[in-house]
Amino acid sequence: MLTALILADSRFPGGGHVHSGGLEEAAARGLVVDEPSLRSFLHGRLLTAGLLAAGFAAAAARGEDLAVLDAELDARTPSPAQREASRAQGRGMLRAARRAWPSARLAALPAAPHQPLVIGVLVGEPYEAALTCAYLAVSGPASAAVRLLGLDPFGVNAIVARLEVEEVAARACEELPALGSPALDLLAEAHVRREGVRLFGS
Amino acid sequence: MKASARLVVSLDPHGNSVVRVLRSQSPLTLVPHRRAGPVALVHLVSSVTAPLGGDALELTVEVGPGAALDLRGVAATLMLPGPTGAPSSSLVRFTVEGSVRYLPEPTVVTGRAHHTSVVEAELDGHAQLRTREVLVLGRTGEAPGTLATTMRATRCGKPLLHQQLVVGGTAADASPAGLAGKRVVGTELLLDDVPRARDGGEWWSVVPLAAGGTLATAMGDDVVTVTNVLDAI
């Protein structure tokens, strides 16, 4: 449980703070401008990308074959920008984790693994791993919204607290999900092509 | 209505792709074209209004080494509710050692429809597949029913693409991280060894998949806008 708390803490030095999960592109297009549109964005992200990531974290925590999971998650992530963002965050988390929680299973991960697999291996309990992953799928974009749009932090926090993160984590433990989000894929690809100043890596 | 249909295409000694097995079962009616050539053309005709709630439809397609199949729809599919509210399902399974183009017409998810659609494709080392799916969320002015559509493609057992899309029934349809309020979503999957440039616009992209192949995705408010993007790949 403590490992899950540390990984979900925004002060964990895994480099997750440079990723907005598509929020920066959505904000740049005026698709997210206020608390209601942010709630809609986070809700959609939780039910698609959040469920998918949480399912793979749970499977890794159950001890399933990491190479198989890596290939299956690649197949469920058609956007190269999304694959790169997931692996960049996995690499950052792995760097910090190798010092804090060295293990044979952690050492078996590739240099840039998908982040949900790292979370699953570290947390080791399927539901807690899924919950950590589902929460991170919305907490990063939520804090990005505060920075990019100047939204009220209390209001944004209340939105995150009311999202059905626990229900999604429980569903993620049932079977390996394959839910895609075409809009998130298109936002991620457009973010990479966007010229000019970008505050976030995704 | 429960129906299963089967289609087997193989290469004959003259280099023609020939339909060896053609088993239709209404509403899945397969209409082959009587012309000899390197590509067998078969139209998939819905000979009864389908799918209605309660229907379970299954189509199995096998294409042998060196053979090529063009499997096309003739009209848009309307997914409709049945009398009992029971869900409907469809399963299309491809086993490809040659080449397949599967190009059904758009699917309209009408109000109160409740459908599960699965397309599975297993390719051998050199097989090729091109397949398209265009979904329309409801007829004009109509909120869609629910649809869960899944595509899983593997090559020699290894996953190339596995995507599920769920429309209707959740707030994710309107979410900028779901379907962004768009009425039409289209994808075109190309599994071959042709390299294509990664490209995109505001509501479309063409991307290379991790284990080979290309996926084009387009979203829009009408079918023409979306299919224009897919036609251009």
The pLDDT value recorded for residue B183 is 94
Q: Cβ distance B41 to B94 under 8 Å?
A: no
Check CB contact of B74 with chain A, cutoff 8 Å. no
What ipTM, to 2 d.p.? Answer: 0.94
**What integer is the mean pLDDT of B161-165?**
97
Backbone angles phi, psi at A124, to 5 degrees: 75, -10
Check CB contact of B148 with chain A, cutoff 8 Å. no
Largest alpha-carbon pair distance within chain A? 46
Decide if A29 and B202 are in contact by the 8 Å CB cutoff: yes
CB atoms within 10 A of CB B25: 17
In chain A the domains, ranked by start, together with CATH numbers, are: 21-188 (1.10.4190.10)
pLDDT of B186 higher than 90 = yes
What Å distances lie between residue B166 and A41, A44, A199, B142, CA to CA?
Answer: 16, 11, 32, 17
CB atoms within 10 A of CB B41: 18
The pLDDT value recorded for residue B175 is 93
The pLDDT value recorded for residue B34 is 87
Task: Measure the CA–CA gap between B93 and B185, rounded to whole angstroms.
Answer: 22
The pLDDT value recorded for residue B35 is 86
Decide if A41 and B182 are in contact by the 8 Å CB cutoff: no
Q: What is the pLDDT of residues B12-36, one digit of tens each?
A: 999 999 999 999 999 999 999 988 8
Interface test with B, best of A189, A192, A195 (most B CBs within 10 A): A189
The structural domain count of chain B equals: 1
pLDDT of B171 higher than 70 = no
Q: What is the pLDDT of residues B82-93, one digit of tens each?
A: 888 899 999 999
Check CB contact of B217 with chain A, cutoff 8 Å. yes
Q: How many CA atoms lie within 13 A of B3 on its CB side?
A: 24
**What integer is the mean pLDDT of B157-186?**
91
Decide if B162 and A77 are in contact by the 8 Å CB cutoff: no
Judged on CB neighbours under 10 Å (0-12, 13-18, 19+), B174 is middle
Distance (Å) from the alpha carbon of A70 to chain B's nearest alpha carbon: 10
**What integer is the mean pLDDT of B96-102?**
98
Q: Cβ distance A88 to A201 under 8 Å?
A: yes
Check CB contact of B177 with chain A, cutoff 8 Å. yes
Check CB contact of B161 with chain A, cutoff 8 Å. yes
Check CB contact of B150 with chain A, cutoff 8 Å. yes
pLDDT of B170 higher than 90 = no
**What integer is the mean pLDDT of B77-85?**
89
Displacement of CA A33 from its chain's centroid (Å):
22
Buried b (16+ CB within 10 A) or exposed e, B180-218: bebbbbbbbbbbbeeeeeeebeebbbbbebbbebbbbbb
Domain of B106? 2-231
Enumerate the residues of chain B whose CB falls inside 8 A of the CB of residue A76. Answer: 162-163
Task: Measure the CA–CA gap between A51 and A57, rounded to whole angstroms.
Answer: 10
Going from the first residue of chain A to its last (202 residues), give the mean pLDDT of each consecutive group of 10, the final group possibly shorter. 94 89 95 97 96 98 96 98 96 95 93 97 98 97 96 98 98 96 96 88 88
